[in-house]
Amino acid sequence: MTTDDIKTNINEFVEIFLNKLNFPNTQEIIDAWKNEENQNGLQKMFKKSKKSSEGKQVHLCPATEDNLDHSIYNKFRFRNREEYMWAYNESYRSKWDKMKIGSTCIFGLTGLGFHMVADVVEKVDLEEIENWPFRSRSGRPWRWGFILTQPIRLQPPISADEIREYTDKSAWQTQNVIKTGGDTILRLIEERTH
């Protein structure tokens, strides 16, 4: 095996490894790795990546099987296209306001744990939608919607005990944003989707 063959093998390994880390600037790091002149700056990029992934939001979305069937297991017809989507009701407006594009949402059932995961691609106001199945007792639709990437099943699901162990949340049966322990939950998600 020549030196060039070894470099090629190492570069392929590093690219696979970096892609598994799923940093927001993964491609930038890979490009720098391939360019020997930039390899000295990689440490700075890893630090930048670590900080940006640490700030990623994780939203807990407990649900019934029926609700998941409407818009997580299956796409929902919205604006003349099919979308995976979810929504917060009127009382969770502040959580929706703080939600970022790219936030991770985990969906779960009582007793089964959080077993589906997807990322937010768009936030939408559902006030005028007529066919949205989720409604408050007053009959108003859960207004604060978000469109998602295709949900992926977590194997095994993340249990309520794991959520309580790694986060500052004592209750997991309401819509919540994880403020402490989100990185640990993201690692569990990564382990359980492969």
Cα–Cα distance list, 32 to 45, 50, 54, 129, 178 (Å): 9, 16, 22, 47, 33
Q: For 27-47, write each residue's pLDDT tens digit.
A: 666 666 566 544 444 444 444
So what's the pLDDT on residue 187? 85
**Choice between 121 and 188, residue whose per-residue pLDDT is larger:** 121
Report yes or no: 107 and 114 within 8 Å, Cβ to Cβ.
Answer: yes
Give the DSSP letter string of 49-106.
HHHHHHT--EEEEE--HHHHHHHTSS-EEETTEEEEEEEE-GGGHHHHHH--TT-EEE
So what's the pLDDT on residue 62? 86
Q: For 159-178, write each residue's pLDDT tens digit.
A: 877 776 655 544 445 566 66
Beta pairing partners, 152:
117
**Rounded-to-integer distance, Cα 74 and Cα 161, Å:** 28
| Interval 134-154 mean pLDDT | 87
Instruction: Give the residue among 182, 189, 160 at the shortest CA–CA distance from 62.
Output: 160
Quick one: fold of 58-192?
ph1033 like fold (3.10.590)
Report yes or no: 85 and 70 within 8 Å, Cβ to Cβ.
Answer: no
So what's the pLDDT on residue 7? 63
Note the pTM of the prediction, 2 decimals: 0.66
Confidence class for position 194, pLDDT limits 50, 70, 90: low
Beta pairing partners, 123:
146
Residue appearing with tokens 């993201």: 186
So what's the pLDDT on residue 36? 54
Domain boundaries along the sequence of the chain:
3-53, 58-192
Q: Burial-class residue 94 by CB neighbours within 10 Å (0-12, 13-18, 19+).
A: exposed
